[in-house]
Amino acid sequence: MTMRHEAIFYHGAGEYADAVGGRVTAALDAGQPVLVAVPEERADLLRDVIGERPGAVEYLDMDSVGRNPARIIPMVAEFIDHCAGRPSTGIGEPAWPDRSEAETAEVVRHEALVNTAFAGTTSDLLCPYDAAALQADALEAAARTHPVVNIEGQARESATFTDPAEVWSSTRHLPAAPPGAPTLEFDRGRLAAVRDLVVELAGEHLPAARARHLVIAANEVASNSVQHAGGTGTVRVWAEPDAVVCEIRDAGRLTDQLAGRRAPEPAHGRGLWLANQLCDLVQLHPDGAGTVVRMRVGFTPGS
């Protein structure tokens, strides 16, 4: 048995309950551990279908845990690790209509990387897509990132499934930073200045704790630039109507597409992972000869 990554296109609550609830019930009947990570109102629909099965299903609110799509893979990996090789089923609904363009692009990249991250597992990873509410291009992207697409109860191979690495590389929503955004070049001795720059603007626009989240994330990513990308980088920070954005560019070549999406390991890899946990969105992209990391923290979590 191998990993199955399937997009389920649904129209309305009834179809959701039938298509997704049916798969969960079947998995439970087969004795599989089940993880359900969907927006809370969708979880309520599934609870109605599944009924009382105490402890059988682990529910997570995707609106919270998956706000930054880069947090989803480590979360699913932990679930699969706990299954210790047993077949399991994960329901993940990372796309919803009011996601921003930048978030939606990162959802697409996340879905592509799911194929890479869980290639060797024996899990069914099923991703409901609200076909009635999502834009057509979101559904087209789902078909490119899922080897199997289920439409009106019929599962078939996706004709447009695309190499995950290519999707990851070609999907991008990074509008230019606003001209005049405060900018600073940094090296090992200027990390405190990076933090000062971020806290000055973030402190003006965000609650204190949220501002500190962005400061920690910026420090971690800037530290990576110093350690792994030639010792220097450039930080830029600006405010948007509902968030503060910090961008760090360096000359490092990004070779690991799953960077920051694996559970932290003792020797390395905690910095970007931590940034993913603290920010509402982290966009990590190759950029010319280097790398750009754009981090966003909203006024409230998820804004």
Partner 1 sequence: MLGRPLPSTRYRGRVRRNGSVTSASGLVPFAHLGWGYRGRDEFDARAAEFLADGLAQQQWVELVGDGSRDELEQRLCALPGGAEALEAGRAGVLPIDDAHVYDNSGVVDPKASVERRVAAIDEATGRGFSGVRGIFDATALVPTPEHREAFTELEHLLDQKMAVLPVSALCAYDLDQLGSHADELVCLHPFTDASNGQFRIFATGEGRLALCGELDLANRELFALVCTRLLPRLEGEVVIDIGGVPYVEHNALVLLDELAARRDAPVVLRNADTLVRHVTDLLRLDHLQVAPPT
Phi, psi of 278 (to 5 degrees): -95, -20
Q: Total number of residues binding partner 1 (CB under 8 A)?
A: 21
Distance from C-alpha of 210 to C-alpha of 56, rounded to nearest angstrom? 35
Residues 1, 84, 176, 209: which binds partner 1 (CB under 8 A)?
209
Indicate the residue among 5 and 210 with the shorter CB distance to partner 1: 210
Please say whether the beta carbons of 279 and 297 come within 8 A: yes
Helix (H, G, I), strand (E, B) or coil at 239: strand
Rank residues 134 and 226 by Cβ distance to partner 1 and give the closer one: 226
Single residue of 145, 277, 283, 291 touching partner 1 by CB under 8 A: 277
**Are the C-beta atoms of residues 116 and 150 closer than 8 Å to each other?**
no
Binding-site member from 17, 83, 102, 191 for partner 1 (CB under 8 A) = 191
Residue 201 touches partner 1, criterion: CB under 8 A: no
Residue 193: φ, ψ to 5°: -65, -35
Rounded to a whole number of angstroms, the minimum distance from the CB of residue 80 to partner 1 is 18
Helix axes 136-145, 101-117, angle to 10 degrees: 20
The reply to whether 26 sits near partner 1 by the rule CB under 8 A is no
> Nearer to partner 1 by C-beta: 142 or 222?
222
Q: How far is the CB of 120 from partner 1 (least distance, A)?
A: 24
Question: Which of 100, 169, 183, 223: binder of partner 1 (CB under 8 A)?
Answer: 223
Q: Of 170-189, which residues contact partner 1 (CB under 8 A)?
A: 188-189
Pick the closer one to partner 1 by CB: 71 or 109.
Answer: 71
Task: Closer to partner 1 by CB, 153 or 207: give it.
Answer: 207
Instruction: Looking at residues 246 to 275 of the shown chain, list those that interact with partner 1 (rule: CB under 8 A).
Output: 264, 266, 270-271, 274
Report the nearest approach of partner 1 to the CB of residue 287 (Å): 22
Q: Where are the alpha helices (DSSP H) in the chain?
A: 12-16, 22-29, 40-50, 62-65, 72-83, 101-117, 136-145, 164-170, 191-205, 208-228, 270-278
CA within 13 Å, CB half, 225: 28
* Smallest distance, partner 1 to C-beta of residue 210, A: 10
By CB under 8 A, is residue 212 in contact with partner 1? Answer: yes
Q: Which of 241, 244, 194, 185 is nearest to 216 (CA)?
A: 194
Q: Which of 108, 37, 48 is nearest to 75 (CA)?
A: 37
Residue that is written with structure tokens 């996706």 in the block: 158
Q: Which residues bind partner 1 (CB under 8 A)?
A: 188-189, 191-192, 195, 209, 212-213, 215-216, 219-220, 223, 226-227, 264, 266, 270-271, 274, 277
